[in-house]
Structure 1
Amino acid sequence: MTPTDTLPIAVLHGDGIGPEVVPVAVAAADKALAAQGIRAVWQDLPYGSAAIDTQGSAIPSSTLAALADYRVMVVGPHDSAAYPQPHRDAPAPGAVLRKHFGLYANLRPARAIPGVEAMAPDIDLLIVRENSEGLYADRNMLVGSGEFMPTPDVALAVGLITRQASERIAERAFAAARARRQQLTIVHKANVLRLSTGLFRDVCLEVGRRFPEVTVQQQHVDAMAALLVRRPADFDVLVTENLFGDILSDLAAELSGSLGLASSINCSDTQVMAQAVHGAAPDIAGAGLADPIAMIGSVASALDWYGTAVAHGGYAAAAQALREGIAATVAAGVRTADLGGTAGTGEFGEYLCALL
């Protein structure tokens, strides 16, 4: 086998339903990769509440050190709100991973699954969200938080937009649009936030001149939200800053069926983290009821990313097999309760793996 025919993948199961949905995604991806002649080598690493119990940290230094050797990681949800103190007030483990490894791009596809009731069954878009700066208090300052209260009755927040970060996310978004339907929409609010999102818009337009085959338009974020509801099929790739991307991607997920089906990757130029949009759902943890579709879809997106990075078509083929397998499993009536079915998490995974 060539080096790209063996893929080491780090696995962090996380909290709540993570230990249920992550193994299903791992088993399915293992089958899909094997069908392409690719051997996945899976390595479990301590993470989340289990790591607090055994190593005294939700994201142990040994885990961070080990992850430096992996280009692909599969990460379950975290439930940091339930951690004991002082871990509850520490940065969330997912945020630590994103910042430590510079995962500056958050890619969130929104595509309806045939046979699943959706408000917008014809939606098929990709939201490319800048993931390293903006208004979020954990990523808008070099040191410390950019959210503060000068008096108990006044709260201020600093938003950060830089040319460097805007340029690199624009390049990733335009490359994605070129590989899709060659349409890109820049989402901003430059009529009000003239300097910050105005800089973001202008840099994206500059980058767009390097991609003449891609048709470019721009929308204010409020208009974009309305247009996603009214005619989502008209859009292909959206690129936007952090806060706007977070909101629009949740909207797009609901339009395509459910936030519980929403897949996501966080990536840099060298590493990718597959992590579903949904949370740990502690209320159903351990009951075998969780829908693994979002986690499986996230792993599929990570395989697409890696296949592009190493120029190996087998990874994209495995990713497509996972997506087709999800659709075929749902079409066969094997659905978890959130989709109106009676199948458990494991039953869904077993049926999917049999298809693969």
Structure 2
Amino acid sequence: MELCVIEGDGIGREVIPAAVEVLKHVAPDVIIRPMEAGWGYFQKHKTPLPDETIQVARECKAILFGAVSSPAYPVEGYFSPIVRLRRTLQAFANLRPAQHLPVPTSREGVDMLIVRENTEDLYIGHEHTEDEGQTGIAEKVITRDATERVTRLTYELVRRIGRKKVTIVHKANVLSQSDGLFRRVALEIAANYPEIITDELYVDTAAYWMVKDPNRFDVILTPNLYGDILSDMAAAWGGGMGLAPSLSLGENIALAEPVHGSAPDIAGKGIANPTASMLSVAMLLRLYWNRIEAADKIEQAVRKTLSEGDYTVDIYTEGAISTEDFTKRVCSHLS
């Protein structure tokens, strides 16, 4: 097995090596192939995602991606490398779990999985301005094919991992042509899985319940934009963004990545939380490589480290430990 490792920018260059170190303890046979992408690479080479990186990602069929620092203003030639990579590889289903962890910022009982369609919606990037820059217009695209495949993957995954309920989240009462299509197709596919409970919520109602009672959710299935927002909300109940892993799946492709950003304000200080990267590797092992025992070992080692009060500064400032020390303590539980 091979793993294409892209550290990216900022703290990606700190947390991804930590995750790779943990991976080597439980799966030493995995061959690591480091590649480049991101804003820093763009500034030197005028592309944020070189063809060589895409080629190696395709060859490995498994990718661990760190974080990128994208400017909030248009830069000629620049695009989000992670969004482009997901679409290029057709990693169409983004899985974002939110589970209780033994940290003060996590909520007891929370255990949900958010699945978002990962290749279309407003994130296709079809934008333009009119009226001499006074009007901005973006296209929202929802297709039957993309909705069918992400829904099938969701229900097959629910069946495989033993979850019981899927909540389809949309805004079909306002966006009848786009979200309406997503709703209709998702419910059509859901009818083939009668043993799994299916319900639906408008996205604003789902946001309300995410704040009021997150324990009501088991699995959420939703288009790209809503999933991006709801999964970040859910991350708060799991303890914070530094603890939130993700895995994007496609046909014979998997892309693991922590959901936090590049955090340039703390980059290089050695204080970033590598938990999300480590748990993303565990998701890769469990759900793509089917190496359940190795995934269990990583998750248990992370939980034990946290339960002993070994926190990075984002969780608890007093007595906080460094990225390196946190990694060493996780690895000590794997030895």
Is the shorter-chain TM-score for this pair beyond 0.5, marking a shared fold?
Answer: yes
2:68 is matched with which residue? 78
Query: What one-letter code is carried by the residue in structure 2 that aligns with 1:339?
Result: I
- Which residues in structure 2 correspond to 1:341-356 (within 5 Å)? 341-356=319-334
Whether 2:230 is the aligned partner of 1:248: answer: yes
Q: Distance in 2 between matches of 1:238 and 1:352?
A: 31
Equivalent of residue 138 in structure 2, options 135, 153, 157: 157
- The Cα shift of 1:80 comes to 2.9
Cα deviation, 1:87-146, whole Å, max 9, x if unaligned, reads: xx511211221122111111111112024322x3211100000111112252xxxxxx24
Contact kept, 8 Å, 2:27 with 2:294, in 1: the verdict is yes
- The Cα shift of 1:41 comes to 0.9
Query: What one-letter code is carried by the residue in structure 1 that aligns with 2:240?
Result: S
Relative distance call for 1:349 and 1:150 in structure 2 (3 A) is same
- 3-state SS of paired residue (2:310): coil
Equivalent of residue 327 in structure 1, options 292, 299, 303: 303
- The Cα shift of 1:176 comes to 2.2
1:109 is matched with which residue? 97
Q: Distance in 2 between matches of 1:198 and 1:259?
A: 31
Contact kept, 8 Å, 2:37 with 2:50, in 1: the verdict is yes
Query: What one-letter code is carried by the residue in structure 2 that aligns with 1:65?
Result: Q
Query: What one-letter code is carried by the residue in structure 2 that aligns with 1:158?
Result: E
Q: Distance in 2 between matches of 1:49 and 1:63?
A: 14
- The Cα shift of 1:53 comes to 6.6
- The Cα shift of 1:58 comes to 2.7
- 3-state SS of paired residue (1:80): coil
Relative distance call for 1:197 and 1:82 in structure 2 (3 A) is closer
1:4 is matched with which residue? none
Query: What one-letter code is carried by the residue in structure 2 that aligns with 1:250?
Result: D
Equivalent of residue 317 in structure 1, options 293, 301, 318: 293
Whether 2:166 is the aligned partner of 1:206: answer: no
2:26 is matched with which residue? 32
Cα deviation, 1:57-102, whole Å, max 9, x if unaligned, reads: 332222222222011111110113299965xx51121122112211
Contact kept, 8 Å, 2:127 with 2:136, in 1: the verdict is no
Query: What one-letter code is carried by the residue in structure 2 that aligns with 1:318?
Result: A
- 3-state SS of paired residue (2:321): coil
Contact kept, 8 Å, 2:48 with 2:78, in 1: the verdict is no
RMSD between aligned residues: 2.0
Q: Distance in 2 between matches of 1:176 and 1:323?
A: 19
- 3-state SS of paired residue (2:314): helix
TM score, norm. by length of structure 1: 0.88
Q: Distance in 2 between matches of 1:171 and 1:147?
A: 33
Contact kept, 8 Å, 1:8 with 1:43, in 2: the verdict is yes
Instruction: Please list every run of 5 or more consecutive structure 1 residues that lacks an aligned counterpart in the other structure.
Output: 1-6, 139-144
Contact kept, 8 Å, 1:9 with 1:73, in 2: the verdict is yes
- Which residues in structure 2 correspond to 1:279-290 (within 5 Å)? 279-290=261-272
TM score, norm. by length of structure 2: 0.93
- 3-state SS of paired residue (1:229): helix
Cα deviation, 1:284-311, whole Å, max 9, x if unaligned, reads: 111100000111111111222223xxxx
282-291 vs 109-118, which moves further = 109-118
- 3-state SS of paired residue (1:69): helix
Contact kept, 8 Å, 2:142 with 2:181, in 1: the verdict is yes
- 3-state SS of paired residue (1:47): coil
- 3-state SS of paired residue (1:103): coil
- 3-state SS of paired residue (2:296): helix
- 3-state SS of paired residue (2:108): coil
Query: What one-letter code is carried by the residue in structure 2 that aligns with 1:242?
Result: N
Contact kept, 8 Å, 1:276 with 1:298, in 2: the verdict is yes
- The Cα shift of 1:333 comes to 1.9
Contact kept, 8 Å, 1:137 with 1:147, in 2: the verdict is no
1:23 is matched with which residue? 17
Percent identity reads 37
Q: Distance in 2 between matches of 1:85 and 1:241?
A: 27
1:291 is matched with which residue? 273
2:315 is matched with which residue? 339
Query: What one-letter code is carried by the residue in structure 2 that aligns with 1:130?
Result: E
Instruction: Please list every run of 5 or more consecutive structure 2 residues that lacks an aligned counterpart in the other structure.
Output: none
1:46 is matched with which residue? 36
Q: Distance in 2 between matches of 1:110 and 1:31?
A: 25
Relative distance call for 1:223 and 1:338 in structure 2 (3 A) is same
Equivalent of residue 87 in structure 2, options 99, 120, 128: 99
